[in-house]
Chain A
């Protein structure tokens, strides 16, 4: 039997799709939860080292990135409203802005990472190995957590780019904005996780 003869007969349940998305977001939260747990434990082991290592991070860039990401969350929400009202051009403009802000975020992030690499502050670097244990763990966690978050940003951008295409082609419209809404939820999750990462690393000093 083919997929078509087996697909449920035009059974559409937007509530179920939303519920499924929220459940997926729960798994994402727990995924990062494991890392937050590791962070809390390590910080309780090495409070002094974490404080010192935190001074190595550029809080200005961190806060800038927070503003960038929060703004992108706003624009994705605005694009959803625009789609719901049937204003396709405006929706595309907001979605485009979101994509742009996401790229800005990644650019700033990569500048920061490059600076850390330049200073020998990455796992495996000879310089890092000379620092106290707590600082080594701090940077291990920093790269792991911001790296995993960065992957989520990239995935989110991919999803939003796909949504952009769908809105542009009129496949997502006011009668069924669900896909875009779910994509927006994912983007908000990326945002929320960053809000926790900022104080844990940049404001640790």
Chain B
């Protein structure tokens, strides 16, 4: 079976059934179409989130200090967080690229439960619509920050209950996707596709799915408790009735810290796919990377209280969580060293996906190392709730997951759409993106170190310069994002036809035509080698 045999067959993009247009897409259980549905909806929400972030930066620019009210500013940072976390970064890579490529990478025709898969997207959209409703209806957008900390979230008059319910519904989407992927990986691997012949993206999706499964229900019940507390006053988080706000923080972070690994693990998986393709050699330390994904998932579930070092935990608890936090750095570093070793003596073919993958490694290292700094209690107490934290998690979430998302988009764009984009335009977009990113977020690290608290509407005059630099950085960042998206949208309609294997990759998706046919394979392939087996290896 080769791409040639499938050349005449209709691709998954063509409608062959009675339904046409949007209806055909909204009812399709093809994992590729569901992946595209997720991709389009998430990128739309991403742009909304970017717009809100842009506005927040604008307000911090000295001449615009009174552009909006403080109350609106509170709503803006809450909504920015809710959209970016729950609608983009958490579902991000697994739901879009996991859906599209996980079955192909393991040699399957679809996920284990295709209808459930489509249902997950509907859950996602319902949650997204509820979240949007919470902004524009009732008493106004929530102003609690995306963490919904009690007791403020219990007493604020804004639309917290609806926003929290939206996150609850989104959790369902996440759990169902997790169940689907775990079952898919256990049951639908092609003959010969043993666990250690799976591409590393599949491994990272597997680890991620387990976190989705084991952590998300905790968030779900915590959010239900917030709603019950607001509606019925059950008293579990309310000190006036004997409850404990600290319990909320624990329950919230028991989910939300592992969620950080839901966000970053698939990103690491993408990088592990891209590096072998553009260095033309197998990944260095395959098993080490696979097992480090699992150990990040495991240890990462035990570090949540490092968000609470200033909340009044016992000294012993703080010491323990500080230690565990630093231990997570070990498997993360294992990955970074293996990626760098993969580059060593590789036959490097410098293409846009590799550029973004390398950007990921650079920015993730800054994000990761500032994370270890905050794992140290003495530093954490100094920088807690400052811009240092904001800068840190933007380096990890945006510099890490976001850049990996772009890298994956650039890597698989020709496969998904059958079109190739202008590489020069991508390089041109990268410069403002990269420079703007660091100008914005590195300045935030510095501001935080100087003592600028996060979520403040006004700042002291001594922070003016820093804020102005950061805001100018945000303009370049947004420019880069728009150039990137513009290039891809242009390519979607006007791009050259892409070949089946434009990058010279050797994983299964590159054996298919671009775009792939419905059900991917005419005949399920039989796997006889590891995932990154380049032909020249045999000659050497």
A31 CA to B168 CA in the complex, in Å?
A: 12
Assess whether B29 is in contact with A3, with CB atoms less than 8 Å apart: yes
A117 interface hit (Cβ, 8 Å): no
A126 CB within 8 Å of chain B: no
- Chain B residue numbers with a CB within 8 Å of A9 are 109, 519
- B18 contacts A2, CB within 8 Å? yes
Please tell me if the beta carbons of B16 and A5 are within 8 angstroms of each other in the complex: yes
**Given the complex, which residues of B lie within 8 Å of A4, measured CB to CB?**
17
- In this complex, the interface size class of chain A, counting residues with CB under 8 Å from chain B, is 35 or more
Could you tell me if B112 and A13 are in contact, using CB atoms closer than 8 angstroms?
yes
> What CA separation (Å) do A34 and B19 show in the bound complex?
44
* Contact residues, B71-91 vs A (CB, 8 A): none
Contacts of B251 in A (CB 8 A): 34, 37-38
* Closest CB in chain A relative to B68 CB, distance in Å: 37
Give complex CA distance A129, B242 in Å. 10
Q: Does B113 contact A (CB under 8 A)?
A: yes
A37 to B242, CA, bound (A): 16
Q: Is the interface of A mostly helix, strand, loop or mixed?
A: helix
A29, B114: Cα distance in complex, Å: 25
Q: Is residue B9 contacting chain A, with contact meaning CB distance below 8 A?
A: no
Q: Does B351 make an interface contact (CB < 8 A)? A: no
The stretch among A39-47, A83-91, A108-116, A184-192 that forms the contact with chain B is A39-47
Q: Which of A2, A11, A15, A49 contacts B19 (CB 8 A)?
A: A2
Within the complex, the shortest CB–CB distance from B93 to chain A, in Å, comes to 20
CA distance A10 to B186 in the complex (A): 19
- Does B52 have its Cβ within 8 Å of any Cβ on chain A? no
Q: Tell yes or no: B42 within 8 A of A by CB.
A: no
Query: Within the complex, what minimum Cβ distance (angstroms) separates A47 from chain B?
Result: 13
Which residues on A sit within 8 Å (CB–CB) of B228?
144
A129 to B109, CA, bound (A): 59
Please report the C-alpha to C-alpha distance between residue A136 and residue B232 in the assembled complex, in whole angstroms. 13
Shortest Cβ gap from B335 to chain A (Å): 27
Q: B474 at interface (Cβ–Cβ under 8 A)?
A: no
Judging by beta carbons under 8 Å apart, are A144 and B234 in contact?
yes
Smallest distance from the beta carbon of B12 to chain A beta carbons, Å?
8
CA–CA, A27 to B219, complex, Å? Answer: 11
C-alpha gap A34/B215 in the complex (Å):
10
A131 to B381, CA, bound (A): 38
Residue contact B114 to A27, C-beta cutoff 8 Å: no
| Interface set, chain A 1-34, CB cutoff 8 A to B | 1-9, 11, 13, 15-17, 19-20, 23-24, 26-28, 30-34
Task: Judge whether B342 is part of the interface by a CB distance below 8 angstroms.
Answer: no
Q: Mark B87-120, 1 if CB is under 8 A from A, else 0.
A: 0000000000000000000000110111110000
Contacts of B16 in A (CB 8 A): 1, 5
Name the one of B110, B232, B247 contacting A38, with C-beta atoms under 8 angstroms.
Answer: B247
Name 24 A/B residue pairs within 8 A (Cβ), A-sorted. Answer: A1-B16, A2-B18, A5-B16, A6-B29, A7-B29, A7-B114, A8-B114, A13-B187, A15-B187, A16-B183, A16-B186, A20-B179, A26-B214, A27-B217, A30-B213, A30-B218, A34-B221, A34-B222, A35-B221, A123-B232, A123-B235, A137-B241, A141-B234, A144-B228
Q: Which residues of A contact B (CB under 8 A)?
A: 1-9, 11, 13, 15-17, 19-20, 23-24, 26-28, 30-35, 37-38, 41-42, 45-46, 49, 123-124, 129, 132-134, 136-137, 140-141, 143-144, 148
Closest 4 pairs between A and B when the two form their complex, measured CB to CB: A133-B242, A2-B17, A140-B234, A34-B221
